[in-house]
Amino acid sequence: DAKTTQPPSMDCAEGRAANLPCNHSTISGNEYVYWYRQIHSQGPQYIIHGLKNNETNEMASLIITEDRKSSTLILPHATLRDTAVYYCIVDTGTASKLTFGTGTRLQVTL
Amino acid sequence: GAVVSQHPSWVICKSGTSVKIECRSLDFQATTMFWYRQFPKQSLMLMATSNEGSKATYEQGVEKDKFLINHASLTLSTLTVTSAHPEDSSFYICSAREGTLRGGYTFGSGTRLTVV
């Protein structure tokens, strides 16, 4: 699996947009970018995934650069409940094993 | 959406005893499930891939005789920690993926194991 690089921690004020970057410079053409988050003492939660195009769902938006070497997860209006560790993973999505990096610990503050 | 149920959510056991953790896919069939372990302030580490009807595939460094995995049906995988020791205390998490589309993996809520 391709490796990803994320900043270890970020802060965001409640109500503001949280932009979480991820570098995946060695991503292969058939690998998707997945984002998960893990709230303390819970199992990870799927957020969004994409291949080439930008994606949006009810939770977040995913912006993937044209060369696919990096991406940004956007939480448009962060709340305190969004405080979690966010993991960016690249995977082919064919029931292969997911490998987690260290993620970004997002702290949303008042 | 897809739901994975994990039980128990927490367990305390004595050293030397065995503990079984169940992972069920509630509304979909999963031919493959995954077991992870997470120590405090660390990321998830894949332990093994559980395959329905066949032997599990263990990651390097994971003792297959200590962490017994059984995937007897398309909706149930179990992880048994045998002869548990305090160093086995950790957060164990299972996951599965629904269908063949490139959707996300669904994770269980995790099991906090404390060996005393």
- A-facing residues of B in 10-39 (CB < 8 A) are 31-32, 34, 36
Q: 3-state SS of chain B?
A: CCCEEEECCEEEECCCCCEEEEEEECCCCCCEEEEEEECCCCCCEEEEEEECCCCCEECCCCCCCCEEEEEEECCEEEEEECCCCHHHCEEEEEEEECCCCCCCEEECCCEEEEEC
- What is the structure's pLDDT at A98? 81
Q: How far is CA B12 from CA B18, B75, B76, B85, B112, in A?
A: 11, 26, 23, 11, 8
- What is the structure's pLDDT at B99? 63
- What is the structure's pLDDT at B98? 72
Query: How far is B39 from chain A, CA to nearest CA, in Å?
Result: 11
Q: Residues 6 or more apart from A46 whose CB is under 8 A from it?
A: A34, A35, A36, B103, B104, B105, B106, B107
Q: What are the pLDDT digits (tens) for B50-71?
A: 988 889 999 999 999 999 999 9
Give the residue from B102, B106, B111, B112 with the most A CB atoms within 10 Å of its CB, the best one to mutate.
B102
Inter-chain touch B102–A32, beta carbons under 8 Å: yes
Helix, strand, coil percentages in chain A from 3-state DSSP, rounded to 5: 5, 45, 50
Inter-chain touch A43–B95, beta carbons under 8 Å: yes
Inter-chain touch B104–A43, beta carbons under 8 Å: no
Nearest-by-CA chain A residue for B37 = A43
Q: What are the pLDDT digits (tens) for A85-103?
A: 999 999 877 657 788 889 9
Inter-chain touch A36–B104, beta carbons under 8 Å: yes
How far is B94 from B20, CA to CA, in rounded Å? Answer: 13
How far is A101 from B69, CA to CA, in rounded Å? Answer: 24
- What is the structure's pLDDT at A75? 98
Q: For chain A, give the percent of residues with pLDDT over 70.
A: 95
- What is the structure's pLDDT at B52? 86
What is the pLDDT averaged over residues A51-58? 94
Residue from the list A41, A43, A99 with its beta carbon closest to the beta carbon of B46: A99
Instruction: Output the six-digit token pair for A108.
Output: 């949303």
For residue A45, pLDDT over 90 is answered with yes
Q: How far is CA B68 from CA A38, A107, B23, B79, in A?
A: 26, 37, 13, 6
Residue A8: band (very low, low, confident or very high) from pLDDT cuts 50, 70, 90: very high
Q: How far is CA A98 from CA A41, B10, B114, in A?
A: 19, 24, 26
Name every chain B residue with its beta carbon within 8 A of the beta carbon of A28: none
What is the rounded average pLDDT for all residues in chain A? 93
- What is the structure's pLDDT at B25? 93
Inter-chain touch B32–A34, beta carbons under 8 Å: no
Q: With a cut of 70, which residues of chain B have pLDDT below it?
A: 99-103
Determine contact, residues B108/B4, Cβ cutoff 8 Å.
Answer: yes
Quick one: which of B81, B54, B13, B106 has its CA closest to A42? B106
- What is the structure's pLDDT at A61? 98
What is the pLDDT averaged over residues A74-78? 97
Inter-chain touch B110–A97, beta carbons under 8 Å: no
Please identify which residue in the block is written with the tokens 């802060």.
A11
For residue A29, pLDDT over 80 is answered with yes
Q: Which of A8-12, A29-33, A45-49 has the highest mean pLDDT?
A: A8-12
- What is the structure's pLDDT at B53? 84
- What is the structure's pLDDT at B75? 92
For residue A2, pLDDT over 70 is answered with no
Residue from the list B44, B46, B104 with its beta carbon closest to the beta carbon of A46: B104
- What is the structure's pLDDT at B105? 85
